[in-house]
Structure formats: structure tokens, C-alpha cells
Amino acid sequence: MTYLFIADLHLSTDHPRLVRGFLDLLHAYEHKNTQLYILGDWFNAWIGDDYTATWLDEIIVQLKQFTHAGNQIYFIVGNRDFALGQKFLDQFSGQLLPDVHTLQIGSHYIRIEHGDALCTDDVSYQKFRKIIRNPIILGILKKTPLAFRQKLAQGFRKKSQQANQVKSYDVMDVNADAVAQALQDADVLIHGHTHRPNIHNEHGKPRIVLGDWRKDTAQILEIIPEQNNVELKLKTWSY
């Protein structure tokens, strides 16, 4: 069994190289009995599961082939694709996980999440997150016309980019207390969002940050447990 963790692909029609890199990854792991965990921001924006586009067709076909080969796909929403739901995943037998999920690999309890909820020092973003992720607000948004949602998503991205230009490096990173709390009932924490790939030692427990695919290469995590031993090492994926 191979456990594969990726995040922050930011796939879109504007970046075919990223799409090709993802499809190549599926092909590379298709025959490795893989459990693929995508920890948010799979897409650069997602305006609802009723969205269809030609560029998505090849992705869905390859995802179907990947799961038909006996592999599994699990997804946790990010701040860019929080509107993605089970309806889209049903097309290729994927599974939507809650914002925080714990899985056991060997004797290790591993907590996985996108990572934005850990950035508690970014107060303005956390306020926005609480509003936009409210099930009532999200339900209303999903019933609005696609064109409206498209413009809304573009507006959100523009405001986010402007806000991030004046925020400090530390404010947009994870909060130490939030990390400590997240690791209380887990041996390992894996997340993305911050685009700062690394393996940190948090009082003896690993915190693994996955990489942003918009770089020349991406840092992903592959775990192939041998008996009770779990090796945690970031791997470079080139595309």
C-alpha cells in the first residue's frame, strides 16, 4: 500500500502544465495500490459541482482510470475550492473528507487538513473563512447563477492577493498554539496552504508542510509502510 499526500495544485485552464503534471502523477501511481489524499486547493477556484468545462474532461477520465485500477482518492477542501463537494467526486468514486481527518498508518495517528485553519494570526482571513464556510451562506451561493459565482470567485482572488501583499510573513504562517493543539491527539500533522514545504519538529512530533505546485517542482509526501515502520520524507515531483 502506498499513501500519497499532495496539496495546492491550483489546477486551472490557464495553467496546462500543472494539469499535465497531475495527470502524470496519476499515471505514475496507478499500479502502486495507492491511497491518494488531496489536501485542498486542488483547483485554483471552484464555483460549484454544476460547473463543467472541456479542460476538466481529461482529468475526470484519468481519475476514473486511477480508481478503476483499485486505487482510492480522498479530498479535503481548501480555501480556493471549498465549494467542491461529493457530487463531483462521485464521478470517479472519490470521497470527501471533513476539514480535519485522522488516519492510522502502522502505529502512527496522522492528522491531515488543508492548513488555513491553523493560521489563526491572520484574523481578517479567519473572519472571512467563518462567514464564507457557513453552510447556510454556502448553500445560498451554490444556488446562484454560475456567471455570478465566477465573478465572485475572481473578486475574492483579487482581494486576497491585494491583502496578502501587505501582510507579514509570520501572520500568514501557522500559529504555534494552533499547531500544538492540533497535535494533541496525533503523532504527525500533514497540511498545505502556506506554500512553505518543510518537515518541522514540533516538540518531538513531525509537522509536514506540502508544496505549492505553481513552483518548478512540487514537494509531495509518499509513505510506504514496512511492517510498523513509517518513513516521513518529502519527495520532489517534477513535471
pLDDT in tens, 170-216: 788 999 999 999 999 999 999 999 999 999 999 999 999 999 998 87
Domain ranges of the chain: 2-238
**CA pseudo-torsion sign 52, 53, 57, 60:** negative
Mean pLDDT of 41-53: 93
Phi-psi region of 31 (alpha: psi -120 to 50; beta: other; left: phi over 0): alpha
Query: So what's the pLDDT on residue 152?
Result: 84
Topology (CATH level 3) of domain 2-238 = Purple Acid Phosphatase; chain A, domain 2 (3.60.21)
DSSP-assigned states of every residue in 161-206: HHHHHTS-TTTTS--HHHHHHHTTT-SEEEE-SS---EEEEETTEE
Of the pLDDT bands very low, low, confident and very high (cuts 50, 70, 90), residue 227 is low
Of the pLDDT bands very low, low, confident and very high (cuts 50, 70, 90), residue 154 is confident
Mean pLDDT of 57-61: 96
Span between the terminal Cα atoms of the chain, in Å: 24
- Longest CA–CA span in the chain (Å) reads 52
Read off the C-alpha cell for 2.
502506498
